[in-house]
Amino acid sequence: MTTILAISNRKGGSGKSTTSVNLAAECGARGRRTLLVDLDTQGHAGLGFGIVPKRDAPTAHHVFTSPDFDLQAAIRPTAFAGVSVAPADQLFDGSTALDRSVSALQRCLRSPEIAARFDLVILDTPPSLDMILVNALAAADGVLVPMIPHALSAEGVRQLARLFFRIATTVNSDLRVVGLLPVMLNVHTNHHRETMQDIAREFGIERVLTGIRTDIRLAEAFAVRKPIRDYAPSSRGTTDYGLLTDELTAFWQADAAPAPHAAS
């Protein structure tokens, strides 16, 4: 069964696209057939793999402008093992949306054709509270929340938590928080440590993942439109996104394990 993972934070600049690109690359390299759907009109997730749609080419946002749209028309192969991308429409502003239902994206992602082609779908979501973000959470099995360890990003987590609760109690009761992911993390910075301690107390230490340390190579990799594992295989960024993939794999395996039978 295809797993759908939304990468979300209500605060912009929180490492969503960097995490989407590098997690997709790591999962693809490990043999998991991965589709990255770029729902943020900045289009950074597509850029991270060197995918830029031509003018009038199908994009992920056509799901909302053409009710009968087949998402497969927007999917592009990448030069990186196991990863395909459905790029964003950088001109989409919502005004041309014809399908504003919360299930528009879900209908496309849960199709038999997508299930046959992909093991994992990663959704890079916009930070704004709009129909795109609501659609992503309504379609997803889980949410991964990257956050820079400072007060504004923490507030973005709290805002997303309120939206998460609304979606999980109305249209998607199976939605789960996969984890909170500190990015640009420096454990020697007091404010970083204090912010993560506050988040752990508020949301539970078990939801806080190991994190991604500060590494300029991550920005450099985006500049040359490559995932970090291909641009700088020995970097901290590559190590940390590998560890993140290990943590998520363990989460998914535990989630899929059958519940133990009660003792008779």
Hey, which residues does 36 pair with through a beta bridge?
85, 122
For Cα atoms 58, 66, 131, give the angle at the middle one, nearest 5 degrees: 100
pLDDT confidence of residue 264:
42
Rounded to an integer, what distance in angstroms lies between the CA atom of residue 12 and that of residue 133? 13
Give all domains of the chain, ordered by start, each with its CATH number: 3-253 (3.40.50.300)
pLDDT confidence of residue 150:
83
- pTM (predicted TM-score): 0.94
DSSP-derived letter for residue 61 is T
pLDDT confidence of residue 12:
82
pLDDT confidence of residue 261:
58
Selection from 126, 176, 229, 173 nearest residue 3 by Cα = 176
Query: Which residues of the chain, if any, have pLDDT below 50?
Result: 264
In a 13 Å sphere around the CA of 15, the CA atoms on its Cβ side amount to 27
Tens digits of per-residue pLDDT, 154-194?
888 889 899 999 999 999 999 999 999 999 888 778 888 88
